[in-house]
Amino acid sequence: MYFADRRRRVPLPALLAAILIPAVSPGREAPAAGPTVEKLLEVCDRGFAHGNTGLDAAMCEWYAAPCACRAHAADARTEHWCVPDNETIDDTVRRVVARLHRYGNPAAAADAAVAQILAEIYPCPIGRGK
């Protein structure tokens, strides 16, 4: 098989092996499941610069304002937060991103940092969570 410019295609299994084998080799740390704080801020800043539209804005919202439907949300070890019903998602995202800009560890996993920030900004009343 060839691309339109007549270069050879790499067979899919060979491509997957080249990508995955180094990532799961013994002695190597598994790659992060999501972005770091630094990468999330880059995405969010680009989304804000484009008027909160497009893929960057959607990705920013997904990570900066996670909902209870996310897979890790049911994990009892994660932080809990309760965003007021009258707050818009845009307001929540902007507040979280502002706090992320002051977060001390840009290499930290964004999902953990966001959960911590949301729990600080929006603490739950006793007996409620997320």
- Residue 97 covered by a domain: yes
Rg of the chain taking only CA atoms, in angstroms? 19
Rounded to whole angstroms, how far apart are CA atoms 64 and 97?
7
Residue 14 has what pLDDT? 46
Rounded to whole angstroms, how far apart are CA atoms 89 and 11?
43
- Residue 73 covered by a domain: yes
Helix H or strand E encompassing 15: helix 12-23
pLDDT band at 12 (very low <50, low <70, confident <90, very high): very low
- Residue 74 covered by a domain: yes
- Comparing 70 with 109, which gets the higher pLDDT? 109
**Hunting for tokens 């804000």 — which residue is that?**
48
- Residue 21 covered by a domain: no
- Residue 129 covered by a domain: no
Helical axes 55-64 vs 37-49, angle rounded to 10°: 130
- Residue 65 covered by a domain: yes
Rounded to whole angstroms, how far apart are CA atoms 112 and 124?
17
Burial 51-67 (b: 16+ CB within 10 A, else e): ebeeebbebbbebbbbe
Residue 128 has what pLDDT? 53
Q: What is the distance, to the nearest Å, from the Cα of residue 99 to the centroid of all Cα atoms in its chain?
A: 15
- Residue 48 covered by a domain: yes
Residue 85 has what pLDDT? 87
- Residue 128 covered by a domain: no
**Hunting for tokens 């990508």 — which residue is that?**
19
If one counts the domains in the chain, the total is 1
Mean pLDDT across 75-95: 82
pLDDT tens-digit series, residues 19-77: 444 444 455 555 557 899 999 999 999 999 999 999 999 999 999 998 754 444 445 55
Residue 67 has what pLDDT? 77
pTM of the model: 0.67
Domain, as residue range, for 103: 37-121
